[in-house]
Structure 1
Amino acid sequence: MSDWEQSSTARVIPPARPRKLAKVPFVELADGRLQGVVSSGSDIERVYVSSVAAGTYAFACSTNNNRPCGGARGGFCNHIRALVTEAVLQYGGEHVARYLRVDVTDGEPNAPALTQVMTGARPAPAGSNAAAPVFSRFLRHLAYLELAPTTAPLPEMQWFPPTRAVA
């Protein structure tokens, strides 16, 4: 077994390109969506949870306490555009395009090209906003950053119960 298989940490895939975490501290491709946390441009204490669904490009953007974003009324707001930009930096344009099922025909899939293809998107149906679980995952990631580096097991990272040996 290699060292990483015996530790309580997982390998981290390096970003496609370095990115600054101040504007978009959390971005992920999960649950059939590009989703993440985006800092407010006007209030340092406010963040937005933004998402774009794969295939349909249905989008949602609201504050961490579920107030709707004023800019996401008829199309992508600046928070969603920032999320797409940071996702391309984190995962690479081709990976993001493949995950969201965006067909970019002219050149390499970059953030403006992806956003342009998804322009006809509609807001996600009411009740389908995943803001709470996304924000909760973001807070959990922040908590892991406060832990001291160790190779000792972390109880919350041990997902599988111990198995009993069969004779």
Structure 2
Amino acid sequence: MSDWESASTARVLPPARPRKLSKVPFVELADGRLQGVVSSGSDIERVYVSSVAAGSYEFACSTNNNRPCGGARGSFCNHIFALITEAVLQYGVERVARYLRVDAADMDAQALYALMMGARPSQADSAAAAQVFSRFLRHLAYVEHPATTDPLPEMQWFPPTRVVV
């Protein structure tokens, strides 16, 4: 058993590749979905909360005000494609495909997107989107903290760094 497996903290994985946060500032694999926040291409004040369910690939896309996305009528919209693309950059295509239960090898974001194209819109309520947006805002609040070496009590779940002397 390795050190991290017996520790009480989770291992933090670096991104597979660097990504720009302007289009998709928040992406996560959580709650059985690939989900995140995607910036609007037309309005700087608007963001979309998009998600794709693992296994069924049911999708949802709505604004932060719970208005449905006009492009997600019966098929994936551009926001969901951007979410998949950024998730592949953040986590790597193998991890995203495994999480979404897509059975394929040697693919990129475009191929992953194409394999899920037959999905249908989700009938889920807006509570899931609200939780994703709330987590995004909570993460965003940490950007506004002044730089300090003092501990932040709400961030104590992060794994401690090891100091080698």
Aligned to 2:75: 75
> Matches of 2:124 and 2:27 in 1, distance apart?
22
Cα shift at 1:154: 2.2
> Matches of 2:30 and 2:148 in 1, distance apart?
27
User: What amino acid is the match of 2:110?
Assistant: P
> Matches of 2:75 and 2:155 in 1, distance apart?
39
What is the aligned length? 152
Cα shift at 1:103: 1.1
TM-score by length of 1: 0.82
In structure 2, the CA distance between the partners of 1:114 and 1:129, relative to structure 1 (3 Å rule), is farther
Does the 8 Å contact 1:55/1:102 carry over to 2? yes
TM-score by length of 2: 0.83
- 1:104-157 Cα deviation digits (max 9, x unpaired): 25xx23111111111110111142661100000001111112223445332323
Aligned to 2:153: 155
Does the 8 Å contact 1:97/1:109 carry over to 2? no
User: What amino acid is the match of 2:139?
Assistant: H
> Matches of 2:127 and 2:39 in 1, distance apart?
18
User: What amino acid is the match of 1:62?
Assistant: S
In structure 2, the CA distance between the partners of 1:57 and 1:129, relative to structure 1 (3 Å rule), is farther
In structure 2, the CA distance between the partners of 1:145 and 1:89, relative to structure 1 (3 Å rule), is same
In structure 2, the CA distance between the partners of 1:128 and 1:42, relative to structure 1 (3 Å rule), is closer
Give secondary structure in 1 for the equivalent of 2:85: helix
Cα shift at 1:44: 0.8
> Matches of 2:72 and 2:127 in 1, distance apart?
13
Aligned to 2:34: 34
Aligned to 1:20: 20
Give secondary structure in 2 for the equivalent of 1:62: strand
What are the ranges of 5 or more consecutive residues in structure 2 without an aligned counterpart?
A: 1-6, 158-165
Does the 8 Å contact 2:66/2:126 carry over to 1? no
Give secondary structure in 2 for the equivalent of 1:37: strand
Give secondary structure in 1 for the equivalent of 2:94: helix
> Matches of 1:142 and 1:12 in 2, distance apart?
19
The equivalences for 1:1-167 within 5 A come to 12-105=12-105, 108-127=106-125, 130-158=128-156
User: What amino acid is the match of 1:14?
Assistant: P
